[in-house]
């Protein structure tokens, strides 16, 4: 079995190296030359423990980075799409990268061999059936006979990509023909993970079921924390910790989503909640709960900034602790920290210092317009600041109370 993976980001590189680790020959393709150059040197373009060593183990043995689409596609039985599906018009998923990768695959096909085109990128329910299948057919290919079309949503968490891929809880295959199902089951045969073959729409829907539930839990927790603040004299962190002691939660790690913070961020939850809400609205249903989940999340940075502004004067130096959207990751896409800092700057707070264990470089790259005085460690941000604000729950921030007597606003309820 040979496969090609388009898109070598968090999902694509993990998928490519994961299959390669199981002895499958994998070609990896990415349009970002800076990214492929780094990967070719055996380095990761982002922080992801475990994947770094696996890349070195498999690079140029079973995993090959290539620009030669024609050769990769010619050899492959399956083509995986792990390209970005960012916010598009009106909140819907932008499928431009996906179409472009599918198009270059099709232009590389010059024989009659049966191949499966598998979307691993997150795409709203009905996308494969109503958009990708017609797109492939318009190019003159017979879907189901000459080419199989499937989806295989990915549930990995950034910071745990490698383990989540290799030891996934479940594998979901959205399929519409038995030949594709048989090939994909063979591909996953080396993994001891339950495989569920479902319809194309169901496969896509399961991914959104997961992400919208997580977003709902987070927005519920955040709204409750704002309600508690509004009432006053409530120990928010303590109340949530006692809530988690309910036996019905069974000590499950899901409780980490039932906890207040600054709002969900990162690449997935914000765009995915918007994408399914907008898609379903365009089909005639206005989803009330999801609408409020999104609204609550959008308002969180403002609530957090207000909380800071109530306690800190504009001429003080604020020391921000944490820039990434969550601990254990250097991903700053849609991070609440950027929104909170922007709001503070707009409200006249000029002296802002910041420290993040690993995300400074990414933050500078994504938000070049945000002026910050970056610090290289906790000691220096403590020294520079008059007051400290925790915006990401990095483990090392737990010792903040022992390191300083300066006022701390713990927006992650972690101390």
Ligand X SMILES: NC(=O)c1ccc[n+]([C@@H]2O[C@H](COP(=O)([O-])OP(=O)(O)OC[C@H]3O[C@@H](n4cnc5c(N)ncnc54)[C@H](O)[C@@H]3O)[C@@H](O)[C@H]2O)c1
**Which residues are marked as active site?**
268
Shortest reach from residue 124's CB to ligand X, in Å: 11
Single residue of 7, 91, 125, 260 touching ligand X by CB under 6 A: 7
Can residue 117 be called a binding residue for ligand X (CB under 6 A)? no
Name which of 97 and 413 has its Cβ closer to ligand X. Answer: 97
Can residue 158 be called a binding residue for ligand X (CB under 6 A)? yes
Shortest reach from residue 292's CB to ligand X, in Å: 22
Can residue 85 be called a binding residue for ligand X (CB under 6 A)? yes
CA distance linking residue 106 with residue 322, whole number of Å = 44
How many other C-beta atoms lie within 10 A of the C-beta of residue 286? Answer: 9
Can residue 77 be called a binding residue for ligand X (CB under 6 A)? no
Single residue of 39, 118, 268, 276 touching ligand X by CB under 6 A: 268
CA 323 to chain centre: 16
Can residue 260 be called a binding residue for ligand X (CB under 6 A)? no
Name which of 26 and 388 has its Cβ closer to ligand X. Answer: 26
Are 174 and 204 in contact, with CB atoms under 8 Å apart? yes
Single residue of 11, 109, 149, 411 touching ligand X by CB under 6 A: 11
Shortest reach from residue 235's CB to ligand X, in Å: 33
**Span near ligand X by CB under 6 A; candidates 97-105, 249-257, 284-292, 344-352:** 97-105
Shortest reach from residue 30's CB to ligand X, in Å: 4
Can residue 84 be called a binding residue for ligand X (CB under 6 A)? yes
Q: Which two tokens stand for residue 320?
A: 């921000």
**Binding letters toward ligand X, positions 120-139, x by CB under 6 A:** -xx-----------------
Contacting ligand X within 34-53 (CB under 6 A): 35
Return residues touching ligand X (CB under 6 A): 6-12, 29-32, 35, 82-85, 97, 100-101, 121-122, 154, 156, 158, 267-268
């Amino acid at each position: 079995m040979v496969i090609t993976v388009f898109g070598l980001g968090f999902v694509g590189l993990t998928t490519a190296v994961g299959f390669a680790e199981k002895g499958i020959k994998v070609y990896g393709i990415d349009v970002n030359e800076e990214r492929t150059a780094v990967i070719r040197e055996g380095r990761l373009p982002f922080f992801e423990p475990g994947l770094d060593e696996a890349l070195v183990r498999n690079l140029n043995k079973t995993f090959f980075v290539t620009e030669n689409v024609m050769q990769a596609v010619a050899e492959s039985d399956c083509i995986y799409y792990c390209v970005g599906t960012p916010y598009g018009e009106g909140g819907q998923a932008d499928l431009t990268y996906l179409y472009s990768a599918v198009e270059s695959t099709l232009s590389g096909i010059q024989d009659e061999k049966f191949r499966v085109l598998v979307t691993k990128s997150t795409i709203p329910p009905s996308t494969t059936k109503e958009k990708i299948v017609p797109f492939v057919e318009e190019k003159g290919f017979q879907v189901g006979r000459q080419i199989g079309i499937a989806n295989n949503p990915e549930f990995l968490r950034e910071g745990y990509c490698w383990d989540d891929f290799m030891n996934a809880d479940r594998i979901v295959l959205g399929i519409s023909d038995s030949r594709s199902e048989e090939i994909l089951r063979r591909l996953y045969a080396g993994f001891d993970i339950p495989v569920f073959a479902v319809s194309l729409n169901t496969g896509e829907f399961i991914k959104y079921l997961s992400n919208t539930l997580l977003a709902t839990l987070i927005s519920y927790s955040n709204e409750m924390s704002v309600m508690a603040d509004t009432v006053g004299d409530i120990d928010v962190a303590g109340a949530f910790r006692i809530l988690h002691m309910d036996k019905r939660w069974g000590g499950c790690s899901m409780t980490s989503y039932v906890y207040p913070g600054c709002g969900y961020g990162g690449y997935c939850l914000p765009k995915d909640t918007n994408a399914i809400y907008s898609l379903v609205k365009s089909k005639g249903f206005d989803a009330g709960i999801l609408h409020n989940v999104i609204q609550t999340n959008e308002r969180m940075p403002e609530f957090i900034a207000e909380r800071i502004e109530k306690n800190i004067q504009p001429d003080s130096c604020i020391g921000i602790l944490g820039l990434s959207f969550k601990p254990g990751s250097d991903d700053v896409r849609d991070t609440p920290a950027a929104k909170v800092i922007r709001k503070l700057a707009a409200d006249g707070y000029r002296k802002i210092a910041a420290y993040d264990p690993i995300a400074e470089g990414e933050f500078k790259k994504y938000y070049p317009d945000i002026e910050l005085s970056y610090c290289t460690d906790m000691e220096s941000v403590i020294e520079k600041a008059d007051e400290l604000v925790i915006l990401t729950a990095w483990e090392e921030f737990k010792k903040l109370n022992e390191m300083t007597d300066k006022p701390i606003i713990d927006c992650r309820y972690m101390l």
